[in-house]
Amino acid sequence: MKRLRLAIAGLTACSGCQLSLLNCEDELPELLNQCEFSFFPLACSPAELAGEYDAALVEGCLSMPHERELLLELRRRSRYLIAVGTCAVWGGVAAIRNGEDRGELRRQVYGQNAVACEMSEPAPLRNVVTVDADIAGCPPEKEELLRLLTGLSRGALPVTVDYSVCTECRMRENLCLLTERSELCLGPLTLGGCRARCPSLSVPCEGCRGPVPEANLKEAVEIYAQKGFDLKVVLGRLHRFWPGWNQ
C-alpha cells in the first residue's frame, strides 16, 4: 500500500497538538509504515514545501501574514486539509482578547519597547480556506489522531462528532458534576470526543473542545443560574476556547 504523503504544520499555537502525535511512541513505527511525514517542521529538518500532499494537518489559528501564506499554499498542494486542535477549529486561547486593540495588548505584555509587527485578530482556519475535517481538543486525544491517520490511509475522513461531553459522561455512568454536585461543568455545551476525560476524574469540563452543534446556551445559562453561577463567569470560561459564544 502506498504511504500517505503528509504535511504537518503549526500556526499561532503552543505546538501541543503536534506533540500529541509525537507522543504516540508505541504507534509511531507502524505510522511510519503508513505515512511519509514530508513536511513537519516541529519534528523533521529540512522542512520545505515540495510537491503535492495527500493531506495537510494544521494546528493553530491565523494571526500573522506569513501564516496565511503558508495555509493557502498547504491548501493548494493538499487533497485534504484538516484543522487539528481547538485553536485551528475555533480560534482557541489566542482569540480570548479579540475585539481589543492589538497594539495596546502588545504594550501591556511587552512594555513600551515592544516591537511593532503586522498581525490580525486570531481566527480559525475556516475563515480563510476550505477545511475538509476538524479534530477538536486542547490538545486532541491521541486516539483521535491515530484514527484520523488510519482513516486517511484508506481514503476516509473522520466521522464528525455531533454530541456533547455529557453524552459520553453518562455512557461512562459518571456522577453529574453540574446537577448533582453543583459544580461549574461545561459538558452540556461542549463537543464530545474525549470520552469525558475530565469529568471521569471528577474535574469539571472546561469547554476546551469548543461548542457542540446547536448548543442551547440559553437553556444552559438558566441551569447555571439555578446553581448560583453568574452569566459573566460562565461566558468567561466559554470564551477561552471560542470567542463567539455570546453572539
Domains held by the chain: number: 2
Q: What is the pLDDT of residues 159-177, one digit of tens each?
A: 889 999 999 999 999 999 9
The answer to whether position 245 is within a domain reads no
Residue 1 has pLDDT above 70, yes or no: no
> In Å, what is the CA distance from 242 to each residue of 76, 107, 124, 212?
27, 24, 10, 11
147 found inside a domain: yes
- Strand-pairing partners, residue 57, are 8, 82
Domain membership of residue 77 as a residue range: 4-153
DSSP state of 94: G
CATH number, domain containing residue 87? 3.40.50.700
Q: Give 173-211 pLDDT, tens digit per residue.
A: 999 999 999 999 999 999 999 999 999 999 999 999 999
**What is the reported pTM?**
0.92
Residue where a domain stops, chosen among 126, 153, 180: 153
Q: How confident is the model at residue 105 (pLDDT cuts 50, 70, 90)?
A: confident
Q: In this structure, is residue 134 part of a structural domain?
A: yes
Mean pLDDT, the chain, whole residue set = 92
Which of 133, 153, 173 lies at the terminal end of a domain, its last residue? 153
Specify whether the CB–CB gap between 54 and 105 falls below 8 A: no
Where do the DSSP E strands lie in the chain?
Answer: 4-10, 35-39, 53-59, 78-84, 133-135
- What's the pLDDT tens digit per position in 17-33? 999 999 998 998 888 88
117-155 pLDDT, tens per residue? 777 899 999 999 999 999 999 999 999 999 999 999 888
Whose cell is 476524574? That residue is: 201
Which residue's entry shows cell 448533582?
A: 180
Q: What local confidence, expressed as pLDDT, does residue 18 receive?
A: 95
**Is 125 in the same domain as 227?**
no
* Pair (221, 136) in one structural domain: no
Q: Would you say residue 160 lies in a domain? A: no
User: From CA 185, how far away is CA 203, in angstroms rounded?
Assistant: 8
pLDDT at position 83 is 98
